[in-house]
Amino acid sequence: MFRRTLNCAVAPALAAAAALYGVSPAQADDIPKAPGHRLVSQYEGSPATAVPVPGEAPPQHPYLAPNGRSGMHADAAGSATYPWPGPLGRDPEVRSEKIAALGGECATATFDSGGRLVTVCGTFAGFKVKLLDPRSLATLAEYQLPQRSSTVEAITSLDFSKIFKDTSGGAYFYLDDQDRAVLADSRQHILRLGHAQNPDGSWKFTVEDDWDLTPQVPHDCVSWTNLWPSGSCDPVTSVMPDWHGRIWWVTRQGRVGTVDPDDGRIRSVRLAGEEIQNSFSVAEDGVSIVSDHALYSFRAEADGTPKVQWRQPYDRGTGTKPGSVNQGSGTTPDLFGDGYVAITDNADDRMNVLVYRRGADAPADRRLVCRVPVFGSGASTTDNSLISWGNSLVVENNYGYENVTTLLLGKSVVGGVSRIDVRPDGSGCDTVWESAIRSPSTVPKLSTANGLLYFYEKDPNIWGIDAWYLTAVDFRTGERRWRQLTGTGPAYDNNWAPVTLGPDGTAYVGVFNGIVAVRDR
């Protein structure tokens, strides 16, 4: 996803030009820093010592790239954990790559078998699937996706909130077990893209499969050639495979469907009156999906039709909080521990972390394991996935963040991070530690190889300097170990993009104007 950084007078004109005429591929330029970057601390803390976290990794999905390489949440279980180390803070080096003149955020980053980044970057000219060199961040190949309806609507109406709350168009994609990117574009088509090297050494993307969902998904969407549609439009939010290789998909207006990649057969059902704005997670025992009303477990019938195994409503509150995309849970379900699934709710006063038993045979009155309120009264929400490892969960407070304009001129969020553990006997949950870290909108990650959590932090600044830091926190204690300045200004705002740990130990962060890499020298 991408957001606006320029003032209201300039941004619409540039956005319209970019959308109508396209933006030339950016050269290998650094993302520009805003004034003040020499007036703030460059590095704080001291290098950490790697202390691995014991535990069992999530099962490897047979149709996904290896755990840690496959998607925004690192694996099919949505754990947000990596089996390799991230940077320890030893004289960190920061590199950045400006992707486009306007926008350019590279959110989800995956890694092919050669260690190259496969990512989707958002610009006002449309999303692009990109293959990046992991060290230089140079573009090796790109594939242009069609423009999202929300971008056209935002430009024509000058209402950019339409972009800010749109999670469709390819932002949630996955890399499969054959290094192919699988995504749903804004035409309601699911694409499977391979990439290969040409004889001259250059790279290219190729569409290997294209499945059209429009017979079952409303698709009269706004475009430059259809500015006043008479029908309805239901964008596809996310895709993931199940353990049998079916490709599951969900839409904003509550449709849940499958594609059989062998014969192209498409089946779907609809959760009437419900909205799905998050991705979902998959285990052998089913597909876990959260709508703005309830948490679901699905399985597929013999013909591929999705069937509900169980449904668990939660407290969705009375409205959308600042820091949430819609009135509901902002989390992708985490599948962890001994058959648990966790989300957060949207309760009005204090958001709760909810842990359930996910077995289809769990009695309804025993499905809920715990409900733990987190963060301060009247100021708690998250629109990012939990981290799960063993019986532990880590949750971040995004209350107050809306888009890249929210934190300008030195402002920040209330912040807060908590670790919650399910008791060994499953009798409930306990808060292990609480931290004041202010990580406005990132999907945080854990390296189980070194025991560090990685956040993207911004503190208030009385001089109005917007300084952004990659921050490492001790998983065991919640103590900040070190943080490294990545840059200043809204171009370095990650704007809901995750921290991603590469197999070579580099930490990547998608930011508004492109992508940043931090690695130990």
Span of 12-21, 398-407, 469-478 with lowest mean pLDDT: 12-21
Decide if 258 is inside a domain: yes
Q: From residue 68, give the alpha-carbon distance in Å to each of 74, 238, 383.
A: 4, 18, 21
What is the DSSP secondary-structure string of 32-76?
A: PPPTTTTSS-SEEE-PPPP-PPPSPPPPPPTTBSSTTSSBTTSST
Confidence of residue 239 (pLDDT cuts 50, 70, 90): very high
Tell me the three state secondary structure of residue 162. helix
Q: Which residues of 386-399 are buried (b: 16+ CB within 10 A; e: fewer)?
A: bbbbbbbbbbbbbb
Q: Has residue 485 got a pLDDT over 90? A: yes
Structural domain for 320, as ranges: 11-520
| Residue 297: per-residue pLDDT | 98
| Tokens found for residue 188 | 């309601």
Q: Which of 169, 155, 154 is nearest to 122 (CA)?
A: 169
Q: What is the pLDDT of residues 55-64, one digit of tens each?
A: 999 999 999 9
Residue with tokens 């202390």, as numbered in its chain: 51
Average pLDDT of span 150-167: 69
Q: Has residue 67 got a pLDDT over 90? A: yes
Whole-angstrom Cα distance, residue 132 to residue 510?
A: 13
Whole-angstrom Cα distance, residue 379 to residue 127?
A: 33
Residue with tokens 């390819």, as numbered in its chain: 170
Decide if 6 is inside a domain: no
Confidence of residue 151 (pLDDT cuts 50, 70, 90): confident
Q: What is the pLDDT of residues 216-235, one digit of tens each?
A: 998 888 888 878 888 888 99
Q: Are 248 and 242 in contact (CB under 8 A)?
A: yes
| Residue 220: per-residue pLDDT | 80
Confidence of residue 100 (pLDDT cuts 50, 70, 90): confident
Confidence of residue 161 (pLDDT cuts 50, 70, 90): low
Query: In terms of pLDDT, which residue wins out, 162 or 45?
Result: 45
Tell me the three state secondary structure of residue 317. coil
In total, how many domains does the chain have?
1
Q: Has residue 201 got a pLDDT over 90? A: yes
Span of 222-231, 239-248, 363-372 with lowest mean pLDDT: 222-231
Q: Are 414 and 436 in contact (CB under 8 A)?
A: no
Q: What is the pLDDT of residues 498-512, one digit of tens each?
A: 999 999 999 999 999
Q: Has residue 312 got a pLDDT over 80? A: yes
Q: From residue 512, give the alpha-carbon distance in Å to each of 76, 105, 159, 405, 407.
A: 27, 5, 18, 11, 13
pLDDT above 70 covers a percentage of the chain that reads: 93
Q: Has residue 285 got a pLDDT over 50? A: yes
Decide if 2 is inside a domain: no
Residue 300's contacts (CB-CB under 8 Å, 6 or more residues apart) are 242, 244, 246, 258, 267, 306, 307
Tell me the three state secondary structure of residue 156. helix
Q: Are 350 and 377 in contact (CB under 8 A)?
A: yes
Average pLDDT of span 289-310: 97
Q: Has residue 160 got a pLDDT over 80? A: no
Average pLDDT of span 234-241: 95
Decide if 240 is inside a domain: yes
What is the DSSP secondary-structure string of 296-313?
A: EEEEE-TTS-EEEEEEEE
Whole-angstrom Cα distance, residue 189 to residue 184?
A: 6
Confidence of residue 163 (pLDDT cuts 50, 70, 90): low
Whole-angstrom Cα distance, residue 286 to residue 171?
A: 23
Decide if 451 is inside a domain: yes
Decide if 177 is inside a domain: yes
| Residue 23: per-residue pLDDT | 32
In whole angstroms, what separates CA 123 from the centre of its chain? 17
Q: From residue 280, give the alpha-carbon distance in Å to each of 190, 191, 276, 334, 343.
A: 16, 18, 10, 9, 11
Average pLDDT of span 454-478: 97
Span of 62-66, 148-152, 377-381, 386-390 with lowest mean pLDDT: 148-152
Cα end-to-end distance, the chain, whole Å: 30
Whole-angstrom Cα distance, residue 70 to residue 173?
A: 9
Q: Has residue 346 got a pLDDT over 60? A: yes
Q: Has residue 1 got a pLDDT over 80? A: no
Give the DSSP H/E element, type plus range, for residue 181. strand 181-184
In whole angstroms, what separates CA 455 from the centre of its chain? 13
| Residue 463: per-residue pLDDT | 95
Query: In terms of pLDDT, which residue wins out, 231 or 282?
Result: 282
For the domain that residue 73 is a member of, what is the CATH number? 2.130.10.10
Confidence of residue 27 (pLDDT cuts 50, 70, 90): very low
The overall average pLDDT reported for the chain is 91
Q: Are 477 and 438 in contact (CB under 8 A)?
A: no
Decide if 1 is inside a domain: no
| Residue 456: per-residue pLDDT | 98
Q: What DSSP state is assigned to residue 31? A: P
| Tokens found for residue 476 | 């065991």
| Residue 313: per-residue pLDDT | 97
| Residue 169: per-residue pLDDT | 73
Whole-angstrom Cα distance, residue 194 to residue 451?
A: 34
Decide if 22 is inside a domain: yes
- The CA angle 33-34-40, to the nearest 5 degrees, is 90
| Residue 14: per-residue pLDDT | 32
Confidence of residue 369 (pLDDT cuts 50, 70, 90): very high
| Residue 274: per-residue pLDDT | 97
**Hey, what's the torsion of the CAs at 14, 16, 20, 21, to 10 degrees?**
-10
Confidence of residue 20 (pLDDT cuts 50, 70, 90): very low
